Chain A
């Protein structure tokens, strides 16, 4: 499958360069400490890596559990072709999180301390366990693709047997995880801006993750369709586009009702400049996509779907940056803007993940539409598990 004629792979070249640049940067970090390659300080102990790789990475991996629930629990057969790519994307999202944490943590080799020293009151304790457990679950959920490729019947049948419990476990762990990322911010009642701080942050995190999950699947399907020339049927993607406004609507109502209940609706107008960030996040990332996804003309058009999905994703990323970085007070006397090496690590980690993703797509039966363009969904023969 590798010998088809292709133009010079500029994309792959750039990816490889970005991936390789991150290697010496990581070496600098382990030799000279975090201070040598980041602008993190006592004033700003968490920066780009936590906001982007952890907060956004986990949220953007939500496609995995939302699609798994949609197809395997709610039995929406139609979306079956995108489950595996969605779970693969989620898996890679978690790999990104773990790789970034290996750089960000002071002493990552002691991460196993979290298994023996429990502080069950810490939201980060929950987050840590969820990252470990869910990565394991995702690996198991992905494993049929590998076993099919290797024609290993017995493990395949075993995974098939535990498939539904596995999927339910995945849903529970990742819902808990999305929640707990919000709970982490609950410890900051005095440093997170009141426009964002609310006791219902965990619920907001969860609902927005559910909304962004299908949007990520649209994005990922469109991109890999362009890269590999096997587009997912439009009908599937516009179906996803139909689901998203529903969850965005719940999210919007929760956000507004929460501010209203706290008697703080006036902050939307008064708390300049925070309100500009808040409004940008809500209007561009929530209200606008709700409108666009509701217009059939846009929903039944690949470019329209792709663009609107990007708005949802952009809005979520902006939200996570607002709460985890921009509107968290910095200690007096400090400033923070990420060092170029911080960007290099974040970009490098993503480049590594995309390389793995492309290899997986080429080598494993991930996409069920290999080389069939828009032909009626003929399935690649599959064993019991999927």
Chain B
């Protein structure tokens, strides 16, 4: 069992308290932004913004929706970033489900950013000593028995912390209680092998910028490749040594009786 958070797009009012709480808990400075016509502000995640709310006007089933979606790290059950990181700087906490980053190990290769199917980790591009930054699931607060800062701040209960399994049941119940208000899908239940953060929305997920992902965990294929690698390497050693022995032997056989043959061995 691990923790999760359920985001309910029908309860969210787009107040951005979660963003503010996140900024202050993580001591992230405000960003200078310019108005480009949208409501998203800041427009996207950055090294100082771990969560933002997306605002979209969506026409769905002949009805106009002013729809919101909070974005942050999804805290995958099989995180691509964890599988990518060569030094284990990103790890999933088995108890809480939080995928946490340890800058004491990182050396800034940014493979996690490339690997993440949700496009979450960010980088301190303007710092000569840069680190990776992303939502921590407030793992320190979780360990201390508190809710994540954003969940605490949410005034409408659009964010709900709980055991992941219970939240899936709860999400299903809400969808079946009012099927006309929700799209019949719990985003994060199966996506990319499952995520700790779960979403139910009144509009299709693609409309809100959620990537359409399959159920396969991205770590699956590389794990197979890495597991077979030692056997593969062993095979190459045996094969090369074998061929070397064969060619040397052939050479020796053809050289017997031929006295001025080169010194046998490493020569050429």
Contact = CB atoms under 8 A, between A and B. Distances in A.
A171 B109 contact: no
Contacts of B259: none
B131 interface: yes
Interface stretch (B137-145, B197-205, B224-232): B224-232
Majority SS at the chain A contact face: helix
A202 B228 CA distance: 11
A42 B225 contact: no
Contact of A189 (B110, B132, B216, B266): B216
B146 interface: no
Contacts of B222: 121-123, 183-184, 186-187
A294 to B, nearest CB: 26
Interface in A95-122: 104-108, 110-111, 113-114, 117-122
Contact of B123 (A42, A122, A168): A42
A10 interface: no
A81 to B, nearest CB: 11
B69 interface: no
Nearest to B47: A42
Contact of B106 (A34, A75, A106, A172): A106
A46 B83 contact: no
B244 A188 contact: no
A125 B214 contact: no
A296 to B, nearest CB: 27
Interface residues of A, number: 72
Interface string B87-109: 11100000000000000011111
Contacts of A182: 225
B233 A176 contact: yes
Contacts of A30: 128
Interface stretch (A12-20, A156-164, A230-238, A306-314): A156-164
Contact of A199 (B110, B219, B221): B221
Contacts of A114: 86-87, 107
A110 B130 CA distance: 12
Contacts of A118: 87-88
Contact of B119 (A29, A73, A199, A331): A331
Contact of B237 (A41, A108, A172): A172
A190 B216 CA distance: 10
Given A35-B126, A105-B109, A180 B229 contact: yes
Contacts of A141: none
B240 A171 contact: yes
A180 B232 CA distance: 12
Contact of B107 (A110, A176, A332): A110
A80 B240 contact: no
B77 interface: no
Contacts of B237: 168, 172
Given A105-B109, A161-B266, A191-B117, A41 B221 contact: no
Given A113-B105, A117-B89, A119-B87, A168 B128 contact: no
A202 B213 CA distance: 23
Given A122-B85, A189-B221, A33 B130 contact: yes
A190 B211 contact: yes
Interface stretch (B38-46, B60-68, B178-186): B38-46
B213 to A, nearest CB: 5
Contact of A171 (B107, B223, B236): B236
B225 A113 contact: no
A117 B88 contact: yes
Contacts of A176: 229, 232-233, 236
Given A124-B84, A172-B233, A189 B218 contact: yes
B253 interface: no
B223 A121 contact: yes
B80 interface: yes
Contact of A164 (B84, B214, B244): B244
Contacts of A42: 44-47, 113, 119, 121-123, 125
Given A123-B222, A188-B114, A189-B216, A73 B240 contact: yes
B266 A108 contact: no
Given A42-B113, A106-B110, A179 B225 contact: yes
B128 A32 contact: yes
Given A188-B218, A189-B214, A333-B43, A80 B268 contact: yes
A33 B226 contact: no
B247 A75 contact: yes
Interface of B: 43-47, 80, 82-89, 105-111, 113-115, 117, 119, 121-132, 192, 209, 211, 213-214, 216, 218-219, 221-226, 229, 232-233, 236-237, 240-241, 243-244, 247-248, 251, 263, 266-268
Given A35-B126, A46-B113, A74-B243, 12 more contacts: A33-B128, A45-B114, A73-B244, A107-B131, A110-B106, A114-B107, A122-B226, A123-B222, A123-B226, A187-B219, A332-B209, A384-B266
Interface of A: 29-36, 40-43, 45-46, 69, 71-75, 77, 80, 104-108, 110-111, 113-114, 117-128, 160-161, 163-164, 168, 171-172, 175-176, 179-180, 182-184, 186-191, 199, 202, 328, 331-333, 384-386
Closest 9 CB pairs of A and B: A106-B108, A35-B125, A45-B113, A125-B86, A110-B107, A75-B247, A117-B87, A186-B221, A119-B88
